[in-house]
Amino acid sequence: MSASTAAPGVLVLAATPLGDPRDASVRLRELIGTADVIAAEDTRRFRTLAAALGVTYTGKIVSHYDAVESERAPGLLAAVRDGATVLVVSDAGMPAVSDPGYRLVAAAAAEDLPVTCLPGPSAVTTALVLSGLPAERFCFEGFPPRRPGERRRWLETLRDERRAVVFFESPRRTADLLRAAVEVLGPDRRAAVCRELTKTYEQVRRGTLAELAEWAASGDVLGEVTMVLAGAEAGQAPPVASLVDAVRERVDDGERLKDAVAAVAEAAGVPKRDLYNATLAARDS
C-alpha cells in the first residue's frame, strides 16, 4: 500500500511529570518507546526524562517550542497522514496549556486526522487542589500581562470573578503581581502561591493577598510558580483607596481623569464621586 493510500497514524498529546519522573504513566513510557516522531518543547529535557524513566526511544526527535510550532506543523501532519504515531510533549505537564500544541491540534482537526490525548500531570489542577480554596468552579488565565498597566487592567477583570482563578507567573514577577493584586483586589482576598510542585523544594503558601505580598517581598521567590486566587464574594467591593493607582495608570496612558474614574468605578462597583475625591486627595497629599 502506498503512503498516499495508507491509513493515517495518530497525533498524541501526552502529559509529562511536573518534576518527579515517577509520576510518568505506564502509557507514557510505552509511547516514548514506540512513537515514530517525538515533538518536544525542549529536546534536552525530553532526553533527560527518557533517561530517568529508563526508556529507549527510536523515533525521530524534533523541537516543538512556541516560535517554531507553526513551522513544524506541516511536517508533523504529513507524518500522521503517512501512518506515523506523532508524540507531542511539553517540558512539564499538559501540552497546549500555556505550552505549544493547540495550533497543531487545530490543524489536525481541520484535516480530520486522528488526535488523542494521554492524560496525566497538570500544574493547574495540582495547584487548585493544594490551595485549600473552593474549587467547584474555576478558570485558567495562563500568564498575566507583564507590563504594569496591562497587568493592573487584567486584575480589574478579576474583581467580580466568582470562580477560583488559576494562573502561572514568573518567580521574578510574583512579588510585583501580589503587590498590584492587593491594590486592585483588596488585601483580604485569599490566594495560594504554589512553587516547585512535586519537586524536592515544593512549597504552598496560603493566606490573604496582603500576607502573601509581604512574604514575597521579604525574599526571592524561586522555581516555577502557579497561583490560585479565591473567587470574589457576592457584593464584595474593594476599598476605594485601593483603586486610585488604577485611575492613575489610565490617566498616564492618556485618558481624561473623569473617564478613567468612571471606568474604574463601574468595573469595581464603587461610587464614582467617592473614587474621584479619593484620587484628588491622593494627588494633593
Handedness of CA 98, 100, 104, 109 (dihedral sign): negative
Give the pLDDT band (50/70/90) at residue 237: low
What is the pLDDT at residue 2?
Answer: 42
Side-chain-side CA neighbours of 145 within 13 Å: the count stands at: 13
Report the share of the chain in percent with pLDDT over 70: 96
pLDDT(6) > 70: no
| Residues 136 and 149 reside in one and the same domain | yes
CA gap 15, 28 in Å, rounded? 8
Q: For residue range 124-139, what is the model confidence (pLDDT) as tens digits?
A: 999 999 999 998 999 9
Q: For residue range 35-69, what is the model confidence (pLDDT) as tens digits?
A: 999 999 999 999 999 999 999 999 999 999 999 99
What is the pLDDT at residue 1?
Answer: 37
Handedness of CA 94, 97, 98, 104 (dihedral sign): positive
What is the pLDDT at residue 271?
Answer: 84
Question: Across residues 251-274, what is the average pLDDT?
Answer: 87
What is the pLDDT at residue 240?
Answer: 77
| Residues 166 and 246 reside in one and the same domain | no
CA gap 4, 8 in Å, rounded? 9
The amino acid at residue 48 is: T
270 or 237, which is more confident: 270
Q: How many domains does the chain have?
A: 3
Structural domain of 161:
124-229
Question: Across residues 220-234, what is the average pLDDT?
Answer: 92
What is the pLDDT at residue 238?
Answer: 66
CA gap 129, 108 in Å, rounded? 33
Answer with the one of 67, 96, 121 that is the final residue of a domain.
121
202 or 233, which is more confident: 202
| Residues 148 and 110 reside in one and the same domain | no
Kindly write down the DSSP assignment for every residue of 233-255, as one continuous string. Answer: PTT----GGGGHHHHHHHHHTT-
| Residues 105 and 76 reside in one and the same domain | yes
Q: Is residue 143 part of a domain?
A: yes
pLDDT(4) > 60: no
**What is the strand order of the sheet 164-169 is part of?**
138-140, 164-169, 225-229, 190-195, 203-208
Question: Across residues 234-262, what is the average pLDDT?
Answer: 82
Determine contact, residues 203/261, Cβ cutoff 8 Å.
no
| Residues 142 and 214 reside in one and the same domain | yes
15 or 242, which is more confident: 15
Give the pLDDT band (50/70/90) at residue 273: confident
Determine contact, residues 136/193, Cβ cutoff 8 Å.
no
Question: Across residues 165-193, what is the average pLDDT?
Answer: 95
What is the pLDDT at residue 235?
Answer: 60
Distant-in-sequence, close-in-space partners of 255: CB < 8 Å, separation ≥ 6: 263
Q: Is 51 exposed, middle or buried (0-12, 13-18, 19+ CB in 10 A)?
A: exposed
Q: What is the CA angle 185-189-191, rounded to 5? A: 110
| Residues 96 and 54 reside in one and the same domain | yes
63 or 276, which is more confident: 63
Question: Across residues 237-254, what is the average pLDDT?
Answer: 82
Determine contact, residues 130/195, Cβ cutoff 8 Å.
no
Residue ranges of alpha helices (H) inside 198-240 are 209-217
Q: For residue range 83-103, what is the model confidence (pLDDT) as tens digits?
A: 999 999 999 999 999 899 999
Q: For residue range 116-126, what is the model confidence (pLDDT) as tens digits?
A: 999 999 999 99
The amino acid at residue 163 is: R
**What is the strand order of the sheet 115-118 is part of?**
60-63, 37-40, 85-89, 10-14, 115-118
Q: What is the CA angle 192-95-62, rounded to 5? A: 140
| Residues 95 and 29 reside in one and the same domain | yes
Give the pLDDT band (50/70/90) at residue 3: very low
pLDDT, the chain, mean? 92
pLDDT(268) > 80: no
DSSP symbol at 223: S
Q: Is residue 234 part of a domain?
A: no
Please report, for the domain that includes residue 188, its CATH number. 3.30.950.10
Q: Is 111 exposed, middle or buried (0-12, 13-18, 19+ CB in 10 A)?
A: exposed
| Residues 16 and 99 reside in one and the same domain | yes
Biggest alpha carbon–alpha carbon distance for the chain: 82
What is the pLDDT at residue 5?
Answer: 55
Kindly write down the DSSP assignment for every residue of 153-177, as one continuous string. Answer: HHHHTTTT--SEEEEEE-TTTHHHH
